[in-house]
Amino acid sequence: MADNYARIVRNNLDRICNNLSEQLALAVGGIQKDDAVLFDAFGESCRIAQNAITLGGIEQWSVIGIVLSLYALHAKPIDCKEQPFKAFKEFPNTMPYVGAFATHTEQILITHADRIEKELEKIAMQLNGGKNPGGDFSLIVRPLPKVALCYIFYRADEDFPASVTCLYSNNAAEFLPPDPLADLGEY
């Protein structure tokens, strides 16, 4: 499987490297430096060059590399429009991914809510985000320069079970297709 991921990243890099320019840097919210485009992603420094995608200095040849390469291929030179946040299922062509998204992105966080709440400020700072006033607690993170995620946590009470909702910046689909958009919420 890892070889398949690496092949996808390599194919995407070949397409990206035809356009390692200031236009690409502008589209992803980064800068061009020498033969590479640099930007922050997942709280680390990301570098896209002809030979590899690195995140925090480590080459990315699996799912994260695919997400980053698809971001570079699909990003547009427009600003992130955060509000109003949208549910994943509100974006076009996401229906095949909605069930897995709920399981792998939202429900999995319920058991980690206490730890996330304790580390809220640290997580928000690491991912260029901040607190959000919704739910019992919530936060906004920016795993990519032009895509913000809003996680809203509700604790269980006598009427409802605990839940987590992950919302996306309003125009997130301008920067990623549905499958990696779902992966972004998961990672």
Closest CA to 154 of 167, 138, 139, 135: 135
92 lies in the same domain as 61: no
- Phi then psi for residue 150, to 5 deg, are -120, 115
- Helices and strands in the chain, H and E counts: 7, 10
Whole-number Å distance between alpha carbons of 104 and 114: 18
Identify the pLDDT of residue 18. 76
Out of 45, 74, 103, a domain closes at 74
Helix (H) or strand (E) holding 12: helix 2-16
For 143, which DSSP code?
Answer: E
61 lies in the same domain as 100: no
179 lies in the same domain as 90: yes
Residue 107 has a CB neighbour count (10 Å cut-off) of: 13
Residue 53 has a CB neighbour count (10 Å cut-off) of: 27
Domain that holds residue 138: 86-186
111 lies in the same domain as 156: yes
Identify the pLDDT of residue 1. 55
Identify the pLDDT of residue 176. 96
The list of the chain residues with pLDDT below 50 reads none
Closest CA to 64 of 126, 128, 9, 27: 9
129 lies in the same domain as 54: no
Q: Model's pTM, two decimal places?
A: 0.92
Whole-number Å distance between alpha carbons of 140 and 27: 22
Q: Where does residue 25 rank: exposed (0-12), middle (13-18), buried (19+ CB within 10 A)? A: buried
Out of 44, 74, 104, a domain closes at 74
